[in-house]
């Protein structure tokens, strides 16, 4: 493929690719040989013209190319892309046992940068965020349907991310019949309804599956040890992911807080779907920062508290402000934690690394004047694999603390 278009890198800019980081930034490119179109295959060559990788060209993006492969002998064509999809689905075969909602493709980690494919029962929900994936979208959708057995495909791409790639806004039904307003799924024995058309991201926070299960196991253990169900506070509850996991595991009372009335309404429907006693679950439409203070004034205490806020830092410049916000909610939550109680505290800000997050939470523990053990580090499940050479993929981090 000597006549394939190529991006020539500036001297010294080869290193990141040699370390198998899959992005080529615009600033690293010295020149473009040929006239590749949006998303088309290009060879990436070092300043000495040596082959480094095959990549998809994104002429309008700051990330100018995303790598498909580092092997010159590989033929990156339709069959190759379809094989990547099959490999991604096969990688998760065992996880199907935990339920019928799963991330089947997670971008870079599955060698398909810019593609997310989430399965909710028989429905696939896609996000297409790179020019390379866009160019091959039909072929990739065919491969996804064939590998997963799903017939309905819905797109929920983020318009802002597509715009950065020079791609027009796109979304809605791609294949099959219009999906129900709320698609039923099952996760570790809990039933949930997912609003794939209007819900957050692709409709559900699949990345918290393992941690919801962790909470359920800890709640069961609490019941065994204390002979009563724990009191649970779920902050930033969305549609009640953690709330239902806790309630079904035997929590005595679960208070769920979120500012989204729609999410809370779906949370209530989810509770009914699982046949839970409505008196067991309380749903409160409120700002968590304020609600935590109000609860303290009322001298409330909880045996389990979950803090799963939205992304407070979207880039490096927001780290300081975000750190203050994380500290604030963690301190307020720790003040409500009963002795022996547990806090599950998360950050999905990629810009905040796990060490910093742990320092922030430790600062809150000190200010709360209590002592805590770090019982476990938490994160996304195995359907969100992380390439060791692409740490950006590991955005979700969590800590499980126990008040001594």
Contacting positions for ligand SAH (CB under 6 A): 205, 208, 236-239, 241-242, 257-260, 263, 287-289, 308-310
Burial label, 318 (beta-carbon count in 10 A; 0-12, 13-18, 19+): middle
Question: What is the number of the residue whose Cβ is closest to ligand SAH?
Answer: 241
Which position has the token pair 């309380």?
282
Contact indicator for 70, 77 with CB cutoff of 8 Å = no
244: Cβ contacts below 8 Å, ≥ 6 apart: 190, 192, 267, 270, 271, 274, 276
Which position has the token pair 């819900």?
199
CA dihedral 351, 355, 360, 365 (to 10 degrees): 150
Q: What is the smallest separation between the CB atom of 325 and ligand SAH, expressed in angstroms? A: 9
Q: Which is nearer to ligand SAH, 24 or 396 (CB)?
A: 396
Q: What is the smallest separation between the CB atom of 310 and ligand SAH, expressed in angstroms? A: 4
Contact indicator for 122, 150 with CB cutoff of 8 Å = yes
Which position has the token pair 């796109």?
170
Q: What is the smallest separation between the CB atom of 269 and ligand SAH, expressed in angstroms? A: 14
Rounded (5°) CA angle 22-25-28: 110
Q: What is the smallest separation between the CB atom of 235 and ligand SAH, expressed in angstroms? A: 7
Find the distance separating the first CA and the last CA of the chain, reported in whole Å: 64
120: Cβ contacts below 8 Å, ≥ 6 apart: 100, 101, 183, 185, 194, 196, 202, 203, 204
Confirm whether 285 is a catalytic residue: no
Contact indicator for 241, 212 with CB cutoff of 8 Å = yes
Q: What is the smallest separation between the CB atom of 226 and ligand SAH, expressed in angstroms? A: 25
Contact indicator for 361, 345 with CB cutoff of 8 Å = yes
CA distances from 226 to 3, 220, 230, 250, 397 (A): 71, 10, 9, 12, 29
Q: Which is nearer to ligand SAH, 123 or 270 (CB)?
A: 270
Q: What is the smallest separation between the CB atom of 236 and ligand SAH, expressed in angstroms? A: 3
Q: Which is nearer to ligand SAH, 36 or 309 (CB)?
A: 309
Q: Which is nearer to ligand SAH, 143 or 196 (CB)?
A: 196
Which of 150, 237, 348, 372 is the catalytic position?
Answer: 348
Which residues are designated catalytic? 348
């Amino acid at each position: 493929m000597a006549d394939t278009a190529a991006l020539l890198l500036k001297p010294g800019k080869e290193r990141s690719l040699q370390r198998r980081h899959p992005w080529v930034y615009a600033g690293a490119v010295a020149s473009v040989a040929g006239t590749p179109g949006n998303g088309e295959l290009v060879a990436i060559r070092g300043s000495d013209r040596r082959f480094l990788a095959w990549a998809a060209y994104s002429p309008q993006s700051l990330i100018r190319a995303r790598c498909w492969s580092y092997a010159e002998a590989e033929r990156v064509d339709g069959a190759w892309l379809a094989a990547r999809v099959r490999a991604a689905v096969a990688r998760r075969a065992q996880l199907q046992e935990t339920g019928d909602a799963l991330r089947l493709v997670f971008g870079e980690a599955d060698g398909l940068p810019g593609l997310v494919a989430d399965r909710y029962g028989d429905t696939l929900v896609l996000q297409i965020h790179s020019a390379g994936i866009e160019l091959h979208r039909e072929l990739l959708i065919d491969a996804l349907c064939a590998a997963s057995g799903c017939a309905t495909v819905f797109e929920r791409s983020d318009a802002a991310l597509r715009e950065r790639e020079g791609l027009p806004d796109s979304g809605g039904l791609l294949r099959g019949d219009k999906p129900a307003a709320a698609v039923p799924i099952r996760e570790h024995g809990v039933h949930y309804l997912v609003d794939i058309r209007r819900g957050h991201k692709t409709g559900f926070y699949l990345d918290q599956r393992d941690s919801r299960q962790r909470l359920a196991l800890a709640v069961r253990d609490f019941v065994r040890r204390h002979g009563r169900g724990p009191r649970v506070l779920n902050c930033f509850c969305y549609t009640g992911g953690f709330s239902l996991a806790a309630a079904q595991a035997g929590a005595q009372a679960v208070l769920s807080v979120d500012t989204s009335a729609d999410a809370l309404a779906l949370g209530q429907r989810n509770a009914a779907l699982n046949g839970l006693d409505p008196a067991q679950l309380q749903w409160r439409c409120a700002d968590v920062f304020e609600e935590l203070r109000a609860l303290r004034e009322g001298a409330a205490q909880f045996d389990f508290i979950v803090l799963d806020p939205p992304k407070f830092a979207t880039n490096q410049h927001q780290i300081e402000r975000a750190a203050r916000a994380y500290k604030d909610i963690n301190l307020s939550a720790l003040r409500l934690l009963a002795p022996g109680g547990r806090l599950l505290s998360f950050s999905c800000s990629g810009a905040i690394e796990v060490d910093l997050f742990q320092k922030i939470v430790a600062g809150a523990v000190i200010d709360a004047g209590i002592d805590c053990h770090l019982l476990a580090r938490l994160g996304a499940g195995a359907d969100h694999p992380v390439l060791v050479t692409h740490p950006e993929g590991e955005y979700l981090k969590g800590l499980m603390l126990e008040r001594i």
